[in-house]
């Protein structure tokens, strides 16, 4: 990119950029960490040709971040990685000129084909000719949450791609960027009820919905969780629940899925580690749910359930 690593303590240049390679399984965890630290100038570089790693970029005003604070940030990233049994390679601290960081990070984003039908496209790019036949989902990767690169998100998109929800009413629990709601609609869903307990996610979903020219009556966004779906859904209930969140949260709300699911409806659970498959099955089977399918990608798993009414 043209910059070189230099002595940070002698710098008079106003911006620092941290570059950290990491296993792509950590994207969601790093997002939450940085959001909790109220760091908002960051991006993830995802190269579809690289299956195992991507790069986190963080821009920091030099005059606001001491060396000790820089070191603390790096330790926080390392701690998150260790929690998932990953070891991070050394990061790079690079001083950059007074650039427009909100534009410069866009240089690394590429169109990302998923499954047979879907293309995730950064909003500022044109559709490559070789992908013109795909269903295009335009995203602002800087707005928040899922961009499609995380294995749990890709598992969900591939599940929708393999079995398009034509004419179905969808509930997207923990909608994040809205990527799964948009995928469902692009693949023929009738409407979606998208909920999240983070106001930033609500804003991101609305932004990305507008980027894709989706009418508000088709993608309905609510702050909250499954109770908001129950309060606002049509009388015929939900045909398909998408729930790409962590296992402990799934278990907190899982008993309420039956309140919103239609007859013969399905629930797609993702955001699960492979070692949590048995735990999730033991939770849902006594509640009358039947496991229809299990898919695995790297260390992550997806489970498809239906309510056994026999």
pLDDT tens, position by position, 2-40: 222 333 344 344 788 899 999 877 887 887 788 778 786
Mean pLDDT of 69-92: 92
- pLDDT of 104 over the 70 cut: no
Could you tell me the pLDDT band of residue 102, with boundaries at 50, 70 and 90? low
What proportion of the chain, given as a percentage, has pLDDT over 70? 87
Structure tokens belonging to residue 233: 């859904």
The strands making up 219-223's β-sheet, listed across from edge to edge, are 219-223, 191-196, 169-173, 238-244, 261-273, 300-307, 289-297
Q: How far is Cα 180 from Cα 195, in angstroms, rounded to an integer?
A: 12
pLDDT at 155: 94
Could you tell me the pLDDT band of residue 83, with boundaries at 50, 70 and 90? confident
Helix (H) or strand (E) holding 15: strand 15-23
> What superfamily in CATH does domain 142-307 come from?
Vaccinia Virus protein VP39 (3.40.50.150)
pLDDT at 4: 28
* Options 3.30.70.2740, 1.20.20.10, 3.30.70.120, 3.30.2130.30; CATH of 8-108: 3.30.70.120
How far, in Å, are 40, 46, 104, 258 from residue 96 at the CA level?
18, 21, 11, 53
Q: How far is Cα 282 from Cα 272, in angstroms, rounded to an integer?
A: 14
Query: What's the angle, vertex CA 300, arms to CA 294 and CA 304, rounded to 5?
Result: 25
Dihedral sign computed on CA atoms, order 105, 151, 187, 168? negative
HSE toward the beta carbon, residue 308, CA cutoff 13 A: 12
Mean pLDDT of 287-293: 95
Query: What's the angle, vertex CA 126, arms to CA 28 and CA 212, rounded to 5?
Result: 60
What backbone torsions phi and psi does residue 273 show, to the nearest 5 degrees? -80, 150
Mean pLDDT of 39-45: 75
Task: Identify the top-confidence range among 23-27, 49-53, 85-89, 109-113.
Answer: 85-89
Structure tokens belonging to residue 256: 């309420």
Helices vs. strands in the chain: H and E counts, helices first? 10, 14
Please count the other Cβ atoms lying within 10 Å of the Cβ belonging to residue 131: 15
Residue with the two structure tokens 């309510």: 307
Mean pLDDT of 213-232: 95
Mean pLDDT of 133-144: 80
HSE toward the beta carbon, residue 261, CA cutoff 13 A: 23
Structure tokens belonging to residue 240: 């398909």
Specify the higher pLDDT residue, 104 or 277: 277
Question: Where in the sequence of the chain do the CATH 3.30.70.120 domains occur?
Answer: 8-108
The strands making up 135-139's β-sheet, listed across from edge to edge, are 112-114, 118-122, 135-139
Question: Where in the sequence of the chain do the CATH 3.40.50.150 domains occur?
Answer: 142-307
Do 280 and 250 meet the contact criterion of CB atoms below 8 Å apart?
yes
Could you tell me the pLDDT band of residue 246, with boundaries at 50, 70 and 90? confident
Structure tokens belonging to residue 157: 């998109």
Please count the other Cβ atoms lying within 10 Å of the Cβ belonging to residue 188: 13
How far, in Å, are 5, 47, 136, 189 from residue 230 at the CA level?
53, 39, 30, 19
């Amino acid at each position: 990119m043209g910059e070189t690593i230099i002595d940070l303590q002698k710098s008079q240049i106003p911006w620092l950029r941290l570059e950290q390679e990491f296993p792509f399984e950590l994207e969601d965890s790093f997002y939450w960490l940085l959001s909790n630290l109220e760091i908002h100038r960051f991006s993830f570089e995802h190269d579809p040709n690289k299956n195992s790693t991507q790069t986190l970029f963080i821009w920091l005003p030099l005059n606001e971040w001491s060396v000790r604070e820089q070191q603390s940030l790096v330790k926080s990233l390392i701690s998150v990685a260790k929690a998932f049994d990953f070891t991070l390679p050394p990061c790079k601290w690079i001083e950059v000129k007074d650039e427009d960081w909100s534009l410069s990070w866009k240089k690394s984003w590429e169109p990302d084909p998923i499954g047979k039908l879907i293309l995730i496209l950064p909003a500022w790019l044109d559709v490559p000719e070789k992908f013109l036949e795909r269903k295009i989902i335009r995203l602002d990767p800087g707005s928040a949450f899922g961009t499609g690169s995380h294995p749990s998100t890709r598992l969900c998109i591939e599940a929708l791609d393999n079995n398009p929800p034509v004419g179905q009413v969808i509930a997207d629990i923990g909608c994040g960027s809205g990527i799964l709601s948009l995928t469902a609609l692009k693949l023929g869903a009738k409407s979606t009820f998208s909920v999240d307990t983070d106001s930033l996610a609500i804003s991101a979903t609305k932004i990305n919905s507008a980027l894709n020219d989706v009418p508000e009556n088709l993608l309905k966004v609510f702050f909250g969780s499954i109770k908001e779906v129950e309060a606002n859904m049509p009388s015929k209930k939900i045909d398909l629940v998408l729930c790409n969140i962590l296992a402990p949260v799934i278990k907190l709300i899982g008993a309420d899925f039956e309140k919103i699911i239609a007859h013969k409806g399905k629930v797609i659970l993702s955001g699960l580690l492979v070692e949590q498959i048995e735990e999730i099955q033991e939770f849902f089977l006594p509640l009358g749910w039947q496991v229809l399918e299990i898919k695995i990608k790297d260390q992550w798993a997806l489970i498809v359930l239906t309510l056994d009414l026999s």
